[in-house]
Structure 1
Amino acid sequence: MPLTSYIQKILKSRKQFGILFFTILTIDILVKECCPVFPYRYISKPPVLLLLILYYYSNQSEVKRSDYLWTVISLVCFFMGDILIINHMNVIFLSVSLLLFTFGKLFLSFRFSHKSDFKVTRLIPFSIIMFIYTVGLVSFLYDGLKNFFVPVIISYFISLLLFQFTFLRKDVVDKASYLNVFFGVIIYMMSEGIMVIKTFKTDVPLQGTLIMLFYGTGLYLIVSGILLEKKIKKVVSPF
């Protein structure tokens, strides 16, 4: 079987791709923990997001072209942010990567937005939880943020927006898609939280492993959820 056909077969199989993706993710985590940053992380890290982009491109069947564009642009933002944040000790690289991750979350929010009716009361409990989480985290990090205070606040506001749009997909899309994206966003935000604590405050046990494990798993679930998505058609009563 030609190599290109074999690769295409893997990309079309959710099970085979999952095995490949988490193998590459594990290799990157081991490289992060055991090898010098340069040049090894620049070799091991890019394939993680590149695989997700190829997986999405090979399997997407978006009805709306805008949904396709928002997803691709978001993944490209995460990919570029990934490369830059490897050298997070460089203030410029760190700043640009934070901006790219913020845009990545914003474009995902656009992707998950919809025009279906929803009850505002459903948002209240989750908004309260996210508000407490954000305020608590920023308060803990306040002394270390310094010039990054405003960018981090904006980034976490976009995280809250993404979380809300994700939650509001309930009863609009099928359960499998909803749960994959919902838990994917939560796991991604856990990675984000550990990353900012490590960068601006103090070290966290197993931080290198946890950041990449949660980050990769979160984005994998989000992309999987998008590919599984089926809109639920609501029956309108004639009475």
Structure 2
Amino acid sequence: MEGPFHVRLKRLANCDPLGQGGAIGKEKNRLQPRLFASLILFIGSYLPLSLILLAQDFRYDLLWSSPCWPVDNPTCEIPLRNAGYSLTIFGVCVACFIISLVALASIKPKTPIDLKETNYVPADLMHYTLPYIVSFMSLDYQETGKFIGLIIFLGWMFTITYRSGQLILNPLLVVFGWRLYEVKYVFPGDATPRTARILSTEKLQPETRYNQAMIQDVMIIKSDKAKGGD
């Protein structure tokens, strides 16, 4: 059963730019994901940061200690300095990332476009999150000032990526076979050339017709070729 996040994302992605008012009219009225869905996408993209913080919170002096059994023994110690924070934040990021993957898998691109030029840009996808993760590798949950600073920083990052239409660009998608392209394309029956960024699970080829779905300013392509394409 699909939850509300999946329904909202599918409605957004399956909008037909040729359906009402033509391709140009629809492009001027690009939809934004709902705030809740956007937060899920954004939080999931920072899964590596939560894993780094979890590793930094681990008490390595207890790594070779004897297993504690039963676990309710008063002498048992959790090998984390701030278990509540680190485990909760890591769990939330894992959950959000899984939901994001399931939502992407549920999208069914339906709007055809004809690609004229394709340029695979793998490095660009890495630029959206990883530099910010490296900046906070020395962060510790026990350093309250730095932790609050991180939350403020991530709040600004969310606002910037949400407003810029790049929220869907998650570098972790590379691990799951997604590729980022810069392309020139036209809509069938409209010779006006346009440019776009595309996330695709396929190796895109020029002079080929594909079905796409739009999320913010990024197209999603999943099948190797549109039915009836050239």
TM over 0.5: no
Higher relative contact order (CA 8 A, sep 6+): 2
More helix by share: 1
More strand by share: 2
